[in-house]
A and B are shown apart, each in its own frame.
Chain A
């Protein structure tokens, strides 16, 4: 496939690995360089292509909170489940969401008990559902970062244009830079550099990460999802650390412009206001949530279907919170693999295809650096 296959050349990948090793060897004081890949898609790609083992000893990778399903607070999930049980409501959402445990059960479980929960590929499918079921209320459970939120904004704008009365959105959309700040401000983990999320940056632009070198003295490389993309980002970060010159590098320029996608940003601004949001593992982070504007209150499912949601605690013993903050690796959780498995996930990081725990579990047999 064009724009993908060329970026998987194993011979070039080996050379990039050699370059990284050479640079670290020339600067032994920086060894091992500890990097966080913010994005869960990167976590999986890094495992899938065996990059961790290739760089072992020189570069240490930590997974970040870049899995929207994983950072959805249990209370917000309970909210969605309560909404799915309102008579006449069809709750539509992305496939990943239905298996995530709330405080009591998941969307999948309440679906088995009769709630009308539909898995859709696109917000456009939710518009289709609202068309097909004029006598029902379609609530779209909107989860996702800056990559996904513009599509929800587009769907809301389309519903407005068409005067469609029966489509609303429960927006759990979140912004990534504030979470990055929360991790760095907490200071729980010492990092040398950040691999910036590629598809988030396609929307917000690589310039959106300038605060990392400016405010935190932290290098950032925006990366794509193929081996050469990731290795060139790691090489750029190692170089920045070795030279002591933190900056933002865009190694995914075929998809990411410095300014991002201005049309998508404008759509976000016309539909959403920025406000606080609850993140699993973090608690509330200021200015990290996208809330539907008061002028579009009739599209806001939270206002349209007020339901009562209890305050809840996270599952006992689950360390997803620390995993999401990069403080521990999944293997340091006592539940990991013993109690918590993809078949019986206790925490969200084991549920989502891009959760760190799911990645560690799936690729465990090829990891040889465990004690």
Chain B
């Protein structure tokens, strides 16, 4: 029931009613709870109301964190597989200690 979908504001009329596209259909939604929303912004729509303005910077920050994490994870996996092949070498023992 708390389903909400991010969608782009295409137009805003004088009464704070926005036109958006939901599932390929143009719909009117109310911006009464996100008065700061501008044409071009993305809002989170729930039962005909925008309940939040999407923050592209925060989205980007999350994705950057994931990318960074993937790099660390890859490095750990590479070291783990190197460790398998050269089991017992000092370097693999040291890298095993790096693992959290």
Residues of A within 8 A of B (CB): 1-4, 6-7, 9, 11-12, 15-16, 18-19, 22-23, 26, 39-41, 66-69, 94, 96, 121-125, 143-145, 147-148, 150-151, 154, 197-200, 202-203, 228, 232, 251, 253-257, 261, 263-264, 267, 352, 354
Interface residues of B in 25-82 (CB under 8 A from A): 30, 32-35, 42, 44, 46-49, 51-52, 54-56, 58-59, 61-63, 65-67, 69-70, 73-74, 76-77
Cross-chain contact B100 with A203 (CB below 8 angstroms): no
Instruction: Say how far A238's CB is from chain B's closest CB, in angstroms.
Output: 11
Let me know if A203 and B51 touch, CB within 8 A.
yes
Distance to closest chain B CB from A5 (angstroms): 11
CA distance A232 to B61 in the complex (A): 13
Q: Is the CB of A15 within 8 A of B70?
A: yes
Residues of A within 8 A of B58 (CB): 253-254
- Main DSSP-derived SS at the B contact region: mixed
A11: contacting residue among B2, B55, B70, CB under 8 A: B70
A300–B11 Cα distance when bound, in Å, is: 34
A37 → B minimal CB distance (Å): 12
Report the interface size for chain B: residues with CB under 8 A from the other chain. Answer: 38
The residues of B with any CB-CB pair to A shorter than 8 Å are: 1-4, 6, 8, 30, 32-35, 42, 44, 46-49, 51-52, 54-56, 58-59, 61-63, 65-67, 69-70, 73-74, 76-77, 99-100
B76: contacting residue among A22, A148, A352, CB under 8 A: A22
* Nearest A residue to B76, CB-CB: A22
Q: Could you tell me the distance between the alpha carbons of A15 and B49 in the complex, rounded to whole angstroms? A: 36
Give the CA-CA distance A257 to B51 in the complex, in Å. 12
A123 adjacent to B47 (CB under 8 Å): yes
Complex contacts, A41 vs chain B, CB 8 Å: 1-3
- A264-B62 in contact given A11-B70, A15-B74, A255-B52 (Cβ < 8 Å): no
- In the bound complex, do residue A253 and residue B61 qualify as a contact, i.e. CB atoms below 8 Å apart? yes
User: Given the interface contacts A6-B59, A23-B100, A232-B66, does A144 sit within 8 Å of B2 by beta carbon?
Assistant: yes
- Contacts A12-B70, A198-B2 given; 15 further ones with Cβ under 8 A? A7-B63, A18-B77, A23-B100, A41-B2, A147-B46, A148-B2, A150-B51, A151-B48, A253-B58, A254-B56, A254-B58, A255-B6, A261-B52, A263-B32, A263-B33
